[in-house]
Amino acid sequence: MMKNVKKRELILFLGPALFFYCVFFVYPMIATIKLSFYETINNDTQNFVGLANFNTLINDPFFSEVFWNALWNNLIFFLFHMFIQNPIGILIALLLVNLSFKAATFYRTAVMLPTMLSFVIVGFIWQLILSPTWGITSILYDVFSIKENTPALLGEESTALITISLVSVWQFIGIPVLLIYAALISINKDILEAIKLEKVGFFKAFFHVHLPMVWPTIALVSILTYVNNFNAFDLIYTVKGPLAGPNFSTDLLGTLFYRTFFGFQLQSGNINLGAAVATAMFLIILIGVSIYLFFVQRRILR
Amino acid sequence: MKRLGLILLAVVGLGASYWSVQKPSTNESNSAKSELIIESWRSDDLAAWNEKILPVFNAQNPNINVVFRPSPATEYNAALNTKLAGGTAGDLITCRPFDASLKLFNEGNLLALNDIAGLKHYSNFAKTAWQTDDLKTTFCIPLASVIHGFIYNQNIFKSLSLQKPKTVDDFYKALDVVSSKGGITPIALGTADQWEAATMGFHNIGVNYWQGEKGRLGLISGKEKLSDKAYVETFTQLEKWAPFMGNGYKAQTYTQSQALFTSGKAAIYPAGSWDIASFNGKVEFEMSAFAPPLPTGQSECFISDHTDIGLGINAKSGKLEAAKKFIEWLTTAEFAQIYANNLPGFFPLSNHEIKIEDPLANEFLSWRQHCKSSIRNSYHILSRGTPNLENEIWNTSAQVLNKSMSPKEAAQQLQKGLDNWYRPN
């Protein structure tokens, strides 16, 4: 058999995909990394400057402050997804598998719905829901006759990032639910029957049977969350704009990249510094994914 | 492999034929009649130009036919640059103010217009946005400006027997009366989008404190600093607005502020004149406007009369004579009159006396008679470095209104940012 697979056929089958992968992914990525080592002079000449752009990003007080701030915010944004979205996702998946109530099918669909909505719509409806002037939160305050003013959750420096993180959790909770639900229903029926016969309690069964069986899926969900969160941009942009206010409290690496690369209002874009931010984002994601591949996935395969 | 090559060829071929079909249609010209195309980002103004403004010029000049051809505002700069590079751009180019157009001029895309006789109808400040840094060469004709002020709900003012505020003291008295009545938000302004805090707040009232052009040029020459008293005082005034801005202004966006005012739930709306067109027809009450109130003890008033739109000639256009003729027409009183009446809220910058029928727009325009005009102080030269001054003004103005920064800290942060890169000559 193997003899018949000739080089020519290999190229024929892999060629097209490889071609598009290189043209639309590998080349732009290398070009971006290359850009980050240059500076632009008189709008058209590219001049090699080595690591100067990264030095500016990390050591120039006016750049490093925003860069570290964006990185820190991004970390918080990720932790909220990791430790709120994913545990709740597991819980919902577990309930969907174990409890057979009539509305389960409907609920399973409903949990997925926000994931399919556009960022623009999600941003818009949550801005309205949380609006202290018209929103449902102000009505709730009235219902429970709380006399204080409704807080402007999206407008305070102390709460804006947490609020947006939770909105994003609401939007994407469907993905861990879907993946973990699929893993749970594929657990061998014999094992589940054994649990029933042995009269093992719900929690004991969960920690000793279900959880170990879905670890690989949880690891996968975690790495997906990590990659998505460090690439996040859309929701912040639609809700708070590219300046990610108030006072940059919702600024993520994505919004910082947008402002730096494309410019904003009177600030003209700096493609080289922007490319440096993009390269930094790429490295951060690469480190995370490498840790996953070398330590987590290897252990799972063994 | 061969088949793949064929498919690729077909795709490339299709793309190329699409491109070649697109191209000539824009460059069609009639030998008898020279057609001039205006590039613009003002899609909203399409009807006004093609139905009201241009027919007047085209009728007077039977051998020239001018067509207005806008692109979407967000894509305009990029689309224009591509067209200029490819030689497919229109003959007349609508100019963004300051650096964006200066760059086009320096790259040789815009024609110097110093020989246009009509330039004498414009004051110096009006031309600044489209001149080289030494102010010697003008490359776009100033088309229109937007004026800042306050639009108010006359019904609410009447029911509380309030007068149009002239001084800062009047202003706060009126706010006190409105807020003591309850149920109505005194000032419809939010800080969620940040730019409103800067344009409708800082730039709007600030001109009175830094004395318009004197303060603006003082910053550029280095004689004045953003940490000076005038700027601290501007921020101090903004801070005083906070209690009057209603519940939840920190999460209130621009459209929400507009809705708050047009629904009759707010008394005063810090405005840009471009709001006029969108408010007309939406409100069921009488509107009027007042200029930024005068600080105590000051008799001279200033307004932010910000130069926003200009028009220039594509240096590589083959129809320079016709284009110059059109540009001359733009400097006439006739054009100013038609333009102002069809696009209320955008005010011609020439010195001709014109009559505007829209009462609200007319109120805004009337301030030019007794107040001195100035442009936003961060737009000329001072926003070229990092941190960007205009972005810093957005951030600090919003923070002062949110009470998370004191006026003094805000002014000092602005100066510190400017000191980082700007060296006055």
pLDDT tens-digit profile of A91-129? 999 888 887 777 888 888 899 999 999 999 999 999 989
Q: What angle do CA B280, B285, B290 make, to 5 degrees?
A: 75
Same domain, B258 and B317: no
Which of B99, B250, B379 lies nearest to residue A155, judging by beta carbons? B250
Which of B1, B247, B402 lies nearest to residue A246, judging by beta carbons? B402
Q: Token digits for B91?
A: 């003959």
Same domain, B391 and B264: yes
Q: What is the model's pLDDT at position B28?
A: 42
CA distance B322 to chain A (A): 32
Residue B385, φ and ψ in degrees, nearest 5: -115, -170
Q: What is the model's pLDDT at position B20?
A: 44
Contact B192 A132 (CB under 8 A): no
Residues B162 and B55: their CA atoms lie apart, in Å, by 45
Residues A143 and A149: their CA atoms lie apart, in Å, by 13
Cα separation values, A188 from A178, A218, B216, Å = 18, 18, 76
Same domain, B137 and B199: no
pLDDT band (50, 70, 90) for residue B27: very low
Q: What angle do CA B352, B355, B360 make, to 5 degrees?
A: 120
Contacting A residues, span 66-125, partner chain B, CB-CB under 8 Å: none
pLDDT band (50, 70, 90) for residue B21: very low
pLDDT (tens digit, 9 = 90+) per residue, A44-86?
A: 788 999 999 999 999 998 899 999 999 999 999 999 999 999 9
Same domain, B141 and B221: no
Residue B131, φ and ψ in degrees, nearest 5: -125, 160
Residues B185 and B54: their CA atoms lie apart, in Å, by 43
Among B178, B138, B143, B171, residue whose Cα is nearest residue B157: B178
- Split into its structural domains, chain B has a count of 2
CATH of region A30-301: 1.10.3720.10
Contacting residues of A for B391, CB less than 8 Å apart: 243, 264-267
- Cβ atoms A85, A169 nearer than 8 A: yes
Same domain, B74 and B131: yes
Look up residue B424 and give its amino acid: P
Contacting residues of A for B378, CB less than 8 Å apart: 266
Q: Token digits for B36?
A: 């001039």
Same domain, B353 and B414: no
CATH of the domain at B388: 3.40.190.10
Same domain, B74 and B160: no
* Residue of A42, A133, A134, A236 to mutate, interface with B, max B Cβ within 10 Å: A133
Look up residue B148 and give its amino acid: H
Same domain, B138 and B88: yes
Among B148, B149, B143, residue whose Cα is nearest residue B347: B143
Residues A263 and A243: their CA atoms lie apart, in Å, by 11
Q: Specify the DSSP element, H or E, that contains A6.
A: none
Residues B43 and B275: their CA atoms lie apart, in Å, by 16
pLDDT band (50, 70, 90) for residue B5: low
pLDDT band (50, 70, 90) for residue B61: very high
Write down the pTM of the prediction.
0.86
Any B CB within 8 A of A9 CB: no
Any B CB within 8 A of A4 CB: no
Average pLDDT rounded to a whole number, residues B403-413: 96
Residues constituting chain B: 425
Q: What is the model's pLDDT at position B183?
A: 86
Q: For residue B92, what are the domain limits? A: 31-145+306-367
Of B351, B367, B383, the one marking the end of a domain is B367
Report the SS3 class of residue B94: strand
CA distance B195 to chain A (A): 10
Any B CB within 8 A of A133 CB: yes
Of B350, B367, B384, the one marking the end of a domain is B367
Q: Mean of the per-residue pLDDT values for chain B?
A: 90
Contacting residues of B for A138, CB less than 8 Å apart: 247-248
- Cβ atoms A170, A114 nearer than 8 A: yes
- Flag whether pLDDT at B30 surpasses 80: no
Q: Which residue of B has its CA nearest to A158?
A: B404
DSSP class of residue B66 equals E
Residue A153, φ and ψ in degrees, nearest 5: -55, -40
Q: Specify which residues B82 forms β-bridges with.
A: none
- Cβ atoms A281, A257 nearer than 8 A: yes
CA distance A243 to chain B (A): 8
Decide if B42 is inside a domain: yes
Any B CB within 8 A of A41 CB: no
| Higher per-residue pLDDT: A192 or B406 | B406
Same domain, B397 and B250: yes
- Flag whether pLDDT at B132 surpasses 90: yes
For residue B91, count CB atoms less than 10 angstroms from its CB and return exposed for 0-12, middle for 13-18, buried for 19 or more.
Answer: buried
> How many CA within 13 A on the CB side of residue B192?
28
Compute CA B107 distance to the chain's CA centroid, rounded to the nearest angstrom.
24
Same domain, B153 and B128: no
Q: What is the model's pLDDT at position A290?
A: 94
Q: What is the model's pLDDT at position B220?
A: 94
Neighbours of A283 (CB within 10 A): 12
For residue B331, count CB atoms less than 10 angstroms from its CB and return exposed for 0-12, middle for 13-18, buried for 19 or more.
Answer: buried
pLDDT band (50, 70, 90) for residue A296: confident
- Cβ atoms B316, B109 nearer than 8 A: yes
Same domain, B348 and B362: yes
- Flag whether pLDDT at B151 surpasses 90: yes
Decide if B25 is inside a domain: no
Residues B192 and B197: their CA atoms lie apart, in Å, by 9
Ordered DSSP codes for B130-190: GB-TTS--B-SEEEEEEEEEEEEEHHHHHHTTPPPP-BHHHHHHHHHHHHHH-SSEEE---
Same domain, B39 and B78: yes
Minimum mean pLDDT among A1-5, B12-16, B44-48: which range? B12-16
Which of A127, A133, A155 lies nearest to residue B246, judging by beta carbons? A133
pLDDT (tens digit, 9 = 90+) per residue, B226-267?
A: 999 999 999 999 999 999 998 889 999 998 999 999 999 999
Decide if B87 is inside a domain: yes
Work out the percent of chain B whose per-residue pLDDT is above 90.
Answer: 76
Any B CB within 8 A of A152 CB: yes
Any B CB within 8 A of A265 CB: yes
CA distance B388 to chain A (A): 6
Average pLDDT rounded to a whole number, residues B338-343: 92
